[in-house]
């Protein structure tokens, strides 16, 4: 019975790479003289996409097709014969690999064309390895995800963007906008993306490592490293790679961020991460940005937090990101000496009627201000003096503002820690601080006390103190080296209801107010202390001795604060006696 020839041996060059010659040796055994039309050996390389396993390829693209004719038409003699063929692989040929749906394969196809008889066909898989390429210098890379309201964001750095199979992927990350939420999981990985068409991309294999979520804190930079598999195929136009960070927080959406990377068979090992400067991330980076941005305004960065503090004009400023507020906005708190006008600016609620300010009628921003805010003061004249065009414009530069008699808070939403956010925010804060400083100088005294202003100015100068006309008060006054304050009291109405005179004690008295009644305190003091206290309390509604001050409340406002000079000397003598100072003689 007639038999087909048999392939008794085939050898193929191993370790072949693009640009190399692939040599094949083929031994055929023929059991009888066999006519043939031709004997060919072809090398075929192709890329194919398989939609499902055990199904024909959905798409197949030929990469290499080379044919060697081992024998033309004739008779194959009985016995054994060896054929050799050489194929030159194109230098741009792809290496072999098997992906999730995509693969690149090479094979040798033997075809013995026998007329009037079943042909002999055999296929042999050929493994084409990737050709080594020069490794570029390390290129550290850092990136921040986009911030959106209260959503979690991440800063990620990689020590390089190119890797060889088996290399270590290293870098760092930091999370922001945690807002006290627990991190449930965090996964770092390198994923493959198989490009089937220009529009169709599917994720493939994933090389992942879990990160302990308990170690994650707001803005804290965390280092990581993990090794790639040595069998990972190199990148090419249909196969790309990305480093992926995936985080999930409680009561929040998951965050997924990808950075494209390249895998290639490089000709030398990677340089260690210590040989190049690593990008700064998280709070470490934010602090440097903020320190540089705040320096021109005289603001300094806090020792540990991302927070600026300092003085702008007459205001003590604190600038920070409110991580617990909706949208984690940039926030500035300004504190200043009380104006004494019961002044308030707050966001207008939907139910509160819009009040137009006639004195802002000519201001181009007056209507916008009235639609967003309500402003109040104890007297209309004080409100009119404080709220001018410059203050209105400074307030409208923020998303939200709240102003009180001695403080202000300004907020910008949808911002972040970066320079493009903090620098313009600080410029607006500085403008607001200047507008508030100017407004403080314009605050007039209460209408009923305006004629008394010269007397108050004179006594403030005598005490080397500061006069705050809004409430007609003197603060930081000095008498015989001791501090005093005189404050006119109001209870919401324009008319004052009394006066408080206070001797501020520094250092405080060594006493426990809760356990030392005034009578016991006076009884334990040197003889004559009770008489001094009675002089302090003479004509007053109330007199108190506190650890930090001796205070007297009078029934009426003062036309001339200098009339309290004698009482102030008595308060000074009382404090000396209570301290047990020697030589604490009579007051003047």
Q: Please check the confidence at residue 165 and state whether its pLDDT lies above 70.
A: yes
Average pLDDT over residues 363-385: 84
CATH of residue 367 = 3.30.1460
Last residue of a domain, one of 377, 408, 442: 442
- Does residue 184 share a domain with residue 160? yes
Check residue 323 and give its pLDDT: 81
Q: pLDDT tens across 222-279, in order?
A: 999 999 988 888 988 888 999 999 999 887 778 999 999 999 999 888 876 555 677 8
Domain with 227, as residue range(s), is 141-279
Secondary structure (DSSP) of 551-580: EEEESS--S-GGGGHHHHHHHHHHHHHHHT
Pair (289, 438) in one structural domain:
yes
pLDDT tens string 533-564: 999 999 999 999 998 999 999 999 999 999 99
Span 101-111, pLDDT tens digits: 788 999 999 99
Is residue 565 a part of any domain in this protein? yes
- pTM score of the predicted model: 0.74
Residues 422 and 536 in one domain: no
**Structural domain contains residue 135:** no
Summarised one tens digit per residue, pLDDT across range 392-448 is 999 999 999 999 999 999 999 877 788 888 999 999 999 999 999 999 999 999 999
Taking the C-alpha atoms of residue 271 and residue 293, their distance in angstroms, rounded to an integer, is 35
Residue 354 has pLDDT above 80, yes or no: no
As for how many domains the chain has, the answer is: 4
Residue 460 makes CB contacts below 8 A (sequence gap 6+) with 466, 467, 474, 477
The answer to whether residues 466 and 573 touch, using CB atoms and an 8 Å cutoff, is no
Percentage above 70 pLDDT, the chain: 90
Q: 192 and 208 in contact (C-beta within 8 Å)?
A: no
Residues 149 and 42 in one domain: no
pLDDT of residue 579: 84
Cα 282 to Cα 172, 306, 332, 406: the distances in Å are 10, 10, 21, 34
DSSP 340: S
> Last residue of a domain, which of 406, 427, 442?
442
The CATH number linked to 153 is 2.60.40.640
What are the E-state strand segments in 273-406? 300-301, 307-312, 315-321, 330-335, 344-347, 373-376, 400-403
Token pair recorded at residue 28: 């055929």
Q: State the CATH number of the domain containing residue 488.
A: 3.90.1150
Q: Within a domain: residue 232?
A: yes
| pLDDT value, residue 341 | 92
pLDDT grade, residue 299 (50/70/90)? Answer: very high
Q: What is the pLDDT of residue 198?
A: 53
């Amino acid at each position: 019975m007639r038999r087909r020839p048999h392939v008794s041996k085939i050898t193929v060059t191993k370790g072949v790479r693009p640009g190399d010659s692939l040599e094949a040796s083929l031994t055929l055994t023929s059991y009888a003289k066999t006519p043939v039309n031709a004997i060919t050996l072809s090398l075929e390389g192709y890329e194919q996409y398989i939609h499902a396993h055990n199904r024909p390829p959905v798409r197949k693209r030929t990469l290499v097709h080379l044919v060697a004719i081992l024998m033309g038409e004739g008779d194959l003699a009985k016995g054994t014969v060896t054929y050799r063929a050489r194929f030159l692989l194109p230098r741009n040929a792809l290496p072999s690999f098997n992906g999730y749906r995509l693969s690149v394969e090479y094979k040798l196809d033997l075809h013995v064309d026998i007329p009037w008889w079943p042909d002999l066909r055999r296929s042999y898989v050929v493994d084409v390895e990737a050709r080594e390429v020069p490794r570029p210098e390390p290129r550290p890379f850092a990136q921040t995800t986009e911030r959106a309201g209260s959503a979690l964001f991440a800063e990620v750095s990689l020590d390089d963007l190119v890797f060889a199979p088996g290399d270590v992927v290293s870098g760092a990350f930091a999370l922001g906008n945690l807002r006290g939420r627990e991190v449930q999981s965090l996964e770092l990985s390198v994923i493959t993306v198989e490009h089937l068409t220009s529009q169709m991309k599917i994720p493939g294999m994933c090389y992942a490592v879990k990160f302990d979520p308990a170690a994650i804190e707001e803005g804290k930079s965390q280092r990581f490293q993990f090794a790639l598999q040595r069998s990972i195929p190199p990148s090419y136009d249909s196969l790309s790679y990305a480093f992926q960070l995936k985080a999930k927080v409680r009561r929040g959406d998951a965050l997924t961020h990808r950075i494209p990377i390249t895998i290639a068979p490089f000709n030398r090992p990677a340089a260690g991460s210590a040989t190049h400067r690593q990008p700064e991330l998280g709070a470490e980076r934010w602090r440097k940005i903020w320190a540089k941005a705040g320096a021109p305004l005289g603001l300094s960065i806090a020792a540990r937090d991302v927070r600026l503090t300092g003085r702008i004009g007459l205001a003590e400023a604190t600038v920070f990101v409110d991580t617990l507020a909706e949208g984690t906005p940039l926030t500035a708190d300004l504190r200043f000496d009380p104006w004494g006008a019961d002044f308030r600016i707050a966001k207008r609620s939907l139910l509160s009627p819009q009040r137009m300010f006639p004195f802002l009628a000519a201001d181009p921003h007056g209507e916008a201000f009235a639609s967003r805010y309500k402003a109040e003061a104890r007297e209309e004249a004080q409100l009119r003096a404080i709220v001018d065009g410059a203050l209105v414009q400074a307030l409208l530069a923020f998303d939200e503002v709240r102003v009180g008699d001695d403080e202000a808070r300004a907020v910008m939403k949808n911002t972040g820690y970066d320079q493009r956010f903090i620098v313009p925010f600080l410029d607006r804060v500085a403008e607001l601080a200047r507008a508030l400083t100017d407004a403080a100088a314009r605050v007039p005294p209460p209408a009923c006390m305006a004629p008394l202003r010269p007397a108050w100015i004179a006594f403030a100068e005598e005490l080397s103190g500061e006069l705050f006309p809004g409430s007609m008060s003197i603060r930081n006054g000095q008498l015989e080296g001791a501090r005093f304050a005189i404050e006119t009291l109001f209870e919401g109405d324009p008319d004052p209801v009394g006066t408080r005179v206070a001797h501020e004690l520094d250092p405080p008295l060594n006493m426990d107010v809760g356990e030392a009644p005034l009578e016991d305190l006076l009884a334990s003091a040197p003889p004559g202390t009770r008489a001094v206290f009675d002089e302090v309390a003479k004509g007053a509604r109330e007199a108190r001795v506190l650890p930090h001050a001796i205070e007297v409340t009078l029934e009426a406002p003062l036309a001339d604060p200098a009339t309290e000079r004698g009482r102030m000397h008595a308060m000074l003598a009382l404090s000396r006696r209570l301290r047990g100072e020697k030589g604490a003689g009579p007051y003047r």
